[in-house]
């Protein structure tokens, strides 16, 4: 279900820019970023968002509450991205299943892969919590895309647009910490 990242094509990981990710998010018409604190994307995405660099930031306490908020926004014809780490995604599997999958809602999740090694596919990670993410998404039938370096950033807008066009969830796996703009 995934599209391979640049590092999978035999290229070293070239880094990831928070500014370019934010440009793609804005270009896709996202109005809200719903998030808990996330160490993987904190400097490159959360800090600029908190400083007013993009869509409205909605801070939440638990990732599964973000699923419900994104569902409500979708019902109001507002586009949102849930920005979390894979640990929170794993903690929210039942909410994702019950809301995003069972009700076919366009819940867009940008998931930071905490401690994933740069240039290593998630399935090959030494970190168990990273290694199991894609198989779980496959089992749930949720589309996902690896965003490992700048060559992968152009996948973001089409993935978001497709999620809303087809009313289905999608996960954007952020494979390394985006650099601050």
Confidence of residue 14 (pLDDT cuts 50, 70, 90): low
Domains identified in the chain and CATH numbers = 6-174 (3.40.50.970)
Give the position of tokens 């959360």: 46
Answer left, alpha or beta for residue 67, where phi above 0 means left and psi between -120 and 50 means alpha: alpha
Task: Write the pLDDT tens digit of every residue in 47-58.
Answer: 899 898 889 999
Q: How many residues does the chain have?
A: 181
Region 4-22: what's the mean pLDDT?
65
> At residue 10, does pLDDT exceed 70?
no
Q: What is the pLDDT of residue 172?
A: 98
For 88-147, the pLDDT digits (tens) are 999 999 999 999 999 999 999 999 999 999 889 999 999 999 999 999 999 999 999 999
Closest CA to 178 of 142, 153, 156, 141: 153
């Amino acid at each position: 279900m995934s599209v391979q990242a640049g590092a999978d094509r035999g290229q070293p990981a070239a880094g990831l820019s928070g500014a370019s990710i934010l440009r793609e998010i804005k270009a896709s018409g996202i109005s809200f970023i719903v998030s808990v604190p996330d160490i993987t994307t904190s400097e490159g995405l959360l800090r600029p968002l908190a400083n007013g660099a993009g869509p409205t930031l909605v801070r939440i306490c638990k990732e599964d509450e973000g699923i419900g908020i994104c569902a409500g926004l979708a019902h109001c014809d507002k586009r949102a991205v849930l920005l979390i780490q894979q640990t929170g995604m794993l903690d929210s599997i039942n909410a994702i299943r019950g809301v995003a999958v069972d009700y076919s809602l366009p819940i867009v999740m940008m998931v930071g892969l905490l401690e994933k090694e740069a240039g290593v596919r998630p399935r090959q990670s030494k970190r168990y919590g990273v290694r199991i993410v894609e198989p779980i998404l496959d089992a749930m039938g949720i589309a996902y895309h690896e965003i490992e370096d700048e060559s992968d950033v152009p996948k973001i807008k089409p993935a978001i647009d497709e999620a809303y066009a087809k009313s289905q969830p999608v996960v954007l796996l952020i494979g390394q910490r985006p650099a601050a703009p």
